[in-house]
Amino acid sequence: MEKTNVIAHFMGFPGKLKDKVMEIIKKTMKIGKDDPRKIWHAAKVGLALTLVSLFYYFRPLYDGFGQSAIWAVLTVVVVFEFTAGATLSKCLNRGFATLLAGALGVGAKYFADLFGKGEPIVLGFLVFTLGAVGTFTRFFPHMKRKYDYGILIFVLTFSLVTVSGYRVDEILELAHQRLTTILVGAATCMIISLVVCPVWAGEDLHKLVCGNLDKLASFLEGFGSEYFSFSEMDEESEKASIKDKGFLQAYKTVLNSKAIEESLANFAWWEPGHGSFRLRHPWKQYLKIGVLARECACHFQALTSYFNSNPQAPTEFHKRIEEACTRMSLESSKALKELASSIKTITQPSSSAAETHLQNSRIAIDDFKAILATTKTSLLSNKLDLLEIFPAITVASILIDVINCVDKISAAVEELSVKAHFKKVKNKESSPSPEKQPQQQLLHRGIVKPVVEDIEDGDSVVIEICGATMAAVAEVNSPGGKKGEAQKECV
């Protein structure tokens, strides 16, 4: 029986191997299709390794550097990163750290020679001191963020030069060969990274922040209608709706983008000016926008919890606040889209467009507060169950917090546009003056409690506009000072 299983295993091995190879090929094609820059990066690393290998392939170069030529190959493997900023960061850190540590190592060697037989003790003390100080320096946040790799190479190079120099007489020649080959390898990486299809960390950070704002806008765009139709679904429809609506889950990537944003901002700091990004581009401002975007996404996480609750029949209060909450969600979504478009096109945000949407969302907040004020009376007179309306009130209050976050994001984007000198775009179509706007757009479409009052020597006029009732009192002189009857007009 066991023999049969072994034979069957070996017989099926070619088929399993073929399936595995096909799976690897599909994954490789998917990675290359998703980001073709990764294919170019692999080719650039291969090109850099080929160039520095000439130190071994050509005899004149090998005779000049000897076995130290291997340091050029090691440098390419270690410092060549995907983005140009990361490559420049590692190359410059490694170059300056190697130069400084090599000089100190040679100086430590000649200084220890003055003590004769006490040379090993002096060298050991120097290695301990600089190694401990260099390692402790890595705990400083600023040094950790920008110069961690350089400090690590400094400690490594100083220790290697100092320890190996104790048994080597020609320490100057050894240090010169290693330093030269390391600098050649670093220079090769920097030139290829900047010239051959460069991948800019700053550009990736720019697109990441813009994409995060788009994800937040997509969530808000569909939240209002989805939430108020959600309570009418059964449990199976509920699960299917959550699965189909990808915008309800896309915001989660914003919550996990902090490390990527900080890394890209750090690497972008090393990059030279390129494209629309100047040499001293305000990369820190992108981090500020990212913090506000994650704060907004945290509110979204609270909102999505209401999709996981058991569906309930919509109450009268739900129906009353549906329009206000939907407008809050939709208008703040439009404001975020305007801000994302401003960052994407590197133009100053249109104050009229973004501010208009934010103003509309604030009007919706006022409408909600008006509804809430009338609800207090219903709670006392009709003994309305507070537990029935509490979830809806919570959702509306979270939406108000979201609008406040969007307002902060708008201010941060405006600050970025000023610091980064974004292009100014003139509005082709100026907004119409209040005199030219239609009467329906000038009137507040909120819910106003109808009021009809009798006024002495005058008539009371009640006007009904677009389904909302609005009381307007006008004094009309009647003959003989008699009281007229109320008139009702519908516009």
Domain harbouring 312, CATH code: 1.20.58.220
pLDDT band at 204, cuts 50/70/90?
very high
Q: Do residue 224 and residue 188 come from a single domain? A: no
Q: Quote the number of domains for the chain.
A: 2
Place of tokens 């850099």: 48
Residue range 128-142: mean pLDDT, rounded: 93
* 228 and 391 Cβ atoms separated by less than 8 Å: no
- Is 50 exceeded by the pLDDT of residue 435? no
- Is 80 exceeded by the pLDDT of residue 428? no
Give the integer Cα–Cα distance in Å for 195 and 484: 86
Q: Do residue 133 and residue 217 come from a single domain? A: no
* 206 and 286 Cβ atoms separated by less than 8 Å: yes
Chain segment 230-239, per-residue pLDDT in tens: 544 444 454 4
Q: Which bin fits 481, alpha (ψ -120 to 50), beta or left (φ > 0)?
A: left
pLDDT-wise least confident of 26-30, 231-235, 412-416: 231-235
What percent of the chain lies above the pLDDT cut of 90?
35
Report pLDDT for 305: 77
Domain assignment of residue 415, given as a range: 201-231+245-420
Report pLDDT for 226: 72
Q: Do residue 129 and residue 176 come from a single domain? A: yes
What the block records as the tokens of 293 is 């975007």
pLDDT-wise least confident of 5-9, 154-158, 265-269, 299-303: 5-9
pTM of the model: 0.77
Helix (H, G, I), strand (E, B) or coil at 466: coil
Q: Do residue 271 and residue 362 come from a single domain? A: yes
Residue range 386-415: mean pLDDT, rounded: 86
On average, the pLDDT of the chain sits at 78
Q: Do residue 222 and residue 175 come from a single domain? A: no
Helix (H, G, I), strand (E, B) or coil at 474: strand
pLDDT band at 240, cuts 50/70/90?
very low
Residue range 319-329: mean pLDDT, rounded: 84
**Backbone φ and ψ of 489, nearest 5°:** -125, 145
Q: Do residue 208 and residue 172 come from a single domain? A: no
Report pLDDT for 150: 93
Chain segment 356-380, per-residue pLDDT in tens: 888 888 898 888 888 877 766 655 5
Whether 99 maps to a domain, the answer reads: yes
State the CB neighbour count (10 A cutoff) for residue 312.
Answer: 12
Give the integer Cα–Cα distance in Å for 69 and 49: 12
- Is 80 exceeded by the pLDDT of residue 449? no
pLDDT-wise least confident of 65-79, 100-114, 460-474: 460-474
Residue range 67-82: mean pLDDT, rounded: 89
pLDDT-wise least confident of 54-63, 156-165, 284-293, 371-380: 371-380
* 276 and 207 Cβ atoms separated by less than 8 Å: no
Helix (H, G, I), strand (E, B) or coil at 447: coil
Report pLDDT for 109: 85
Whether 465 maps to a domain, the answer reads: no
Q: Do residue 158 and residue 221 come from a single domain? A: no
Q: Do residue 161 and residue 218 come from a single domain? A: no
Whether 2 maps to a domain, the answer reads: no
Whether 393 maps to a domain, the answer reads: yes
Residue range 158-178: mean pLDDT, rounded: 78
Whether 25 maps to a domain, the answer reads: no
Whether 416 maps to a domain, the answer reads: yes
Whether 429 maps to a domain, the answer reads: no
Chain segment 332-361, per-residue pLDDT in tens: 999 999 999 999 989 887 666 788 888 888
Residue 273 CB-half CA count within 13 A:
6
State the CB neighbour count (10 A cutoff) for residue 416.
Answer: 24
Report pLDDT for 199: 93
pLDDT-wise least confident of 64-78, 98-112, 206-220, 477-491: 477-491
Q: Do residue 51 and residue 169 come from a single domain? A: yes
Q: CA dist 367 to 234, 360, 363, 469, Å?
A: 30, 11, 6, 14
**Backbone φ and ψ of 463, nearest 5°:** -115, 130
pLDDT band at 59, cuts 50/70/90?
confident
pLDDT-wise least confident of 132-136, 386-390, 397-401: 386-390
Q: Which of 89, 63, 72, 216 is nearest to 152 (CA)?
A: 89
- Is 70 exceeded by the pLDDT of residue 481? no
Q: Do residue 362 and residue 410 come from a single domain? A: yes
Q: Do residue 251 and residue 399 come from a single domain? A: yes
What the block records as the tokens of 257 is 């983008």
Whether 171 maps to a domain, the answer reads: yes
Give the integer Cα–Cα distance in Å for 130 and 486: 94
Q: Do residue 125 and residue 208 come from a single domain? A: no
